[in-house]
Amino acid sequence: MSNRDLDNILVFAGKGDEDYVSDICTLLGIPLGYTDSRYHEDSDPYFRVDPKVGGRDVYFVSRFHKNTLHNWIEMLSFANAALNEGARSVNVFETYLGCSRQERKSKPGEAVTLQAKAQSIMGAGVSTFNTFAAHADATILAFNPAVTRFTSFPLWPAMIRVIYNVAGPDAMVKLVGPDAGAAKSVRDILSSTTVEQDDRFDPDLAIVDKDRVHADDDTKSGALVGEVESKLASIFDDESVSGGSICDASAICLANGASGAYVALAHPKFAMIDRGLERLAAALKEGTIEKLITTNSCFIPDDFYDRLGVTPDSGRVIVIPTQPLVAEHILRSSQSKGAPYLFSSRGVLRPYLRVRDRVEDVETSERDGTYEDRFRSELELYRKLAAPVLGPYSAAVGKHRELT
């Protein structure tokens, strides 16, 4: 993805996301920017950025780490430090938008935390704020586009591609919303070109009725509206902390005759929550959930698969890498281009195909002394960042096939 337009771009990582953002920088062909983010003994935050940001367009990329307030203050500190050093623009990509569930006032005295966050972002001088799969469409209304341009990129196109690949040619896939609030987003998926033109996808949706019984995300699911009998129920949700809604929805679909249940979850917040991991591990073990398809928009701990009781290569849990999507956005922004294809289940393949092209370019390059090492390096990058979406790499050179 290397491009001369990136000469004026610097990309920085939120604390704990250095490896994630290093992958993005590798795809862009630029080094990861330096920051020093820590807390003093009395808990006051300290932040320092590379002074070379002067005159540059800078990007700050971070994921959810179970501490929304840390992400918030670190982002504001970055904007302040970069602008004080003369950065031309400050751009943020927060892969999960913290505070997004508190986007409206439902009881007297409640704070609209998302509004407070948006106001602080605009006040800090952030030019663009980007995220994946914001909790509500109305989130954009919290931002004044004359100050900060807000964009929420959907994650369902990549998840649809995975379902498309793994469901099998004979499956009849039924899209299911775990509650009434998911109806619009599921209808948007059903109206996409890939789904409309694929006979394996049922043209109608099903919805699970759900009541929230506690403020801590416990839910009680009830009736199913729609027909799932003899169909593969694919339950789409934007986020889950406890796993309650998606596990209940899966069980209800199976009780109503579904042949199996996939869960497609944009933001796996449960990955850092014990009760969420335990509930989903039980659902996977019992077969209530046949496959869990999610992304790395939230931090994924090293013991993630172990805690779920599966192995990474089992195919039961598929984690879609989001680094190629972020890299593609930064690349096209540097070229003053939009990225509308990231909103479609066909166009979303482009960033992952770019990763595959890197392997092909090396494989067909001149065979010098570094050839094998370069191929292995690019192949590992492909396995990490593209294989979950595109499948295993198909080597052209015979002796490479055993590696792939």
Most confident of 73-77, 112-116, 347-351: 73-77
Token duo for residue 329: 């956005």
CATH classification at residue 221: 3.40.50.2020
Mean pLDDT of 320-337: 93
Q: What is the pLDDT of residue 174?
A: 95
* Cα gap 188→191, rounded to integer Å: 5
Claim to verify: residue 179 and residue 284 sit in the same structural domain:
yes
Res. 106: pLDDT tops 70? yes
Predicted local confidence at residue 221, as pLDDT:
56
Answer yes or no: is 23 within a domain.
yes
List CB contacts of 150: < 8 A, sequence separation 6 or more. 118, 128, 129, 130, 139, 140, 142, 143
Whole-number Å distance between alpha carbons of 400 and 341: 32
Shared domain for 196 and 281, answered yes or no, is yes
Tell me: do 180 and 123 sit in the same domain: no
Q: Within this chain, do residues 299 and 181 fall inside the same structural domain, yes or no?
A: yes
pLDDT tens across 130-159, in order? 999 998 878 999 999 999 999 999 999 899
The answer to whether residues 160 and 148 belong to one domain is no
Tell me how far CA of residue 140 lies from CA of 133, 153, 370, 379, 404, in angstroms.
12, 12, 48, 39, 43
The continuous run of DSSP H or E covering 307 comes out as helix 304-308
The residue type at 62: S
Domain identity same for 149 and 108: yes
| 259 and 226, same domain (yes or no) | yes
**C-alpha distances in angstroms, 172 versus 15, 200, 311?**
43, 5, 27
Domain that holds residue 31: 4-153+323-343
As a whole number of angstroms, the distance between CA 73 and CA 257 comes to: 48
CA distance 393 to 330: 25
Region of 243 (left: φ > 0; alpha: ψ -120 to 50; beta: rest) is left
Q: Domain total for the chain?
A: 3
